[in-house]
Amino acid sequence: MAEECIFCKIGRRKIPGDLIYSDDQAFVIRDISPKAPIHLLVLPFEHVTYLESFTQDREALLGHMMLVAREMARREGLTESGYRLVINQGSDSGQEVPHLHLHVLGGRDLGSMG
């Protein structure tokens, strides 16, 4: 049976989400609890849980997610001011939803990660 996590459901439009972009591989939503003025999530439609489960033949999907993030940053006007891309992995990172997603954060000074 296909996975039905919350992000799968948003991607399949079974539950509402602020879906602002989609193509044949990935979609983008606005984070429901934004940590910056612009906070987007880039997600594959495919239910991939962790980077660990990615096989070598799927590396193009990761590259695609990065290019979608760049395009969304352009659309949101972040290219000049800058932005941060984050992928949380596992409990120490605070990852809440086990469906791989790339955070795009910007619109304020995010500071250094030290």
Residues that bind ligand AMP (CB under 6 A): 6, 17, 29, 31-33, 41, 88, 94-97
- Binding partner selected for residue 8 from ligand AMP, Zn ion, none, CB under the kind-specific 5 to 8 Å limit: Zn ion
Is 101 annotated in the active site?
Answer: yes
Beta carbon of residue 16, minimum distance to ligand AMP (angstroms, whole number): 8
Residue of 39, 47, 64, 101 with catalytic role:
101
The residues, any chain, with a CB within 8 Å of residue 91's CB and separated by 6 or more, are none
Strands (DSSP E) found in 8-110 = 19-22, 26-30, 38-44, 83-86, 102-106
Dihedral pair phi/psi, residue 22, rounded to 5°: -155, 150
Beta carbon of residue 17, minimum distance to ligand AMP (angstroms, whole number): 5
**Residues annotated as catalytic (active site), given as ranges:** 101
